[in-house]
Structure 1
């Protein structure tokens, strides 16, 4: 009869594609891990992995067994952890990497209700991905899907960027998009970066060309850009989830409606950690705080 520990070792080897890495994760010796696998393969009656010089590649039989076992093992581990959590006042700790604007708007207001201890790291997509690959964070929220081994991406939400101007800004009426595009190029723009990251996408999707303009100011902080717009410094593209207070207090307004651009946000985490209860808890908590959109035609945000 198969031993439950053989199954756990098989699942761990499958996730890491390596006996040595699986042994480290389970705090076992490599020979003991290999014995577990050999015993399970003998029980099944055929190989579960093809051994190569670089990694363990699951056979079709191995894939079939994993798809059957993984949910069962995960359910048992979650039940154990949940039982332990009920009897222990210690909250799980989740280290998360994200843009600081996102954290300020979508996480900070809800920290008291998360039932998770959060350690946050802020930075651009490439930086927080490095933190993830180096195991310095458990999960990141990112708009970039980089090709990185062992990383899984899960779609989170679509954020909407609109053109934002000071409240008293005069927006002429235009008969066609060419006139609008020419007028926009002549305005004073604030940008998050010299490469015009979201502005270039806005131009490409709405006008099918690159923007023929240079930003007046480059300010790598969306809240600072919003503040500058409120004080008449120019216009920019900002996510709608930031705008409720500024619009309701008549400090800014959305112009060029319905022209906009959307941006997908993703959760990213190590595949080997994908079944960790604290990762799932964080994902479910953030999904419960989905990004709202704002319409000037409605007072609701």
Structure 2
């Protein structure tokens, strides 16, 4: 299993687990910095490597009226400032190939959104930057088929890659998580993390916006870590009820911190039973 670099971090699947966390979309800069500082401290206290994540533009919102973020240029400026002030690596997603090169000047990791994980040109553009690339498994994808997304990135000389599981579509407006996914995708030789909050999303289930069932974030995250995930991805907010995107499936900062304590205990024990 490959160790990868995310900015200054050495993410080795045999070492400390990875936490990718932040608000779904960039809102106010001060809010984002407070979230980054809080989660950085919580991660350090529980033994996680931490990367701040927020989108500068959510191009796949349910409704035309949904908040998309500050946009490409302003969003990258905000992420650069968060990186500087909080002293953390930053990750965000791109939606078009032309964004990759400019985004790589700021980002430590570039994310391929789940809906776009089959978009060859997008993956190639992200991989050519030589930054870490997180490819999220689409809600419509079998885990076995993610090997081909990895092969696209590897074809241009980038092996600084990891995968994220975020559930699979199960009927209308619902997702389920197949816990076999972590073992299946780990066979490809790259780290696999679990998106605990998008996996409880109810796409389009909120009358023109996505709903969510945050009460299931913790049990699914615990199960995923026990099943072999090398880290977790969580959307967090100071006040999820007022978040401008994905509030119903986001955790409060204190909920996230408590969950990290649980996950750290599971990580400390799981080597004893994963070899069974």
TM over 0.5: no
TM-score, with structure 1 as normaliser: 0.24
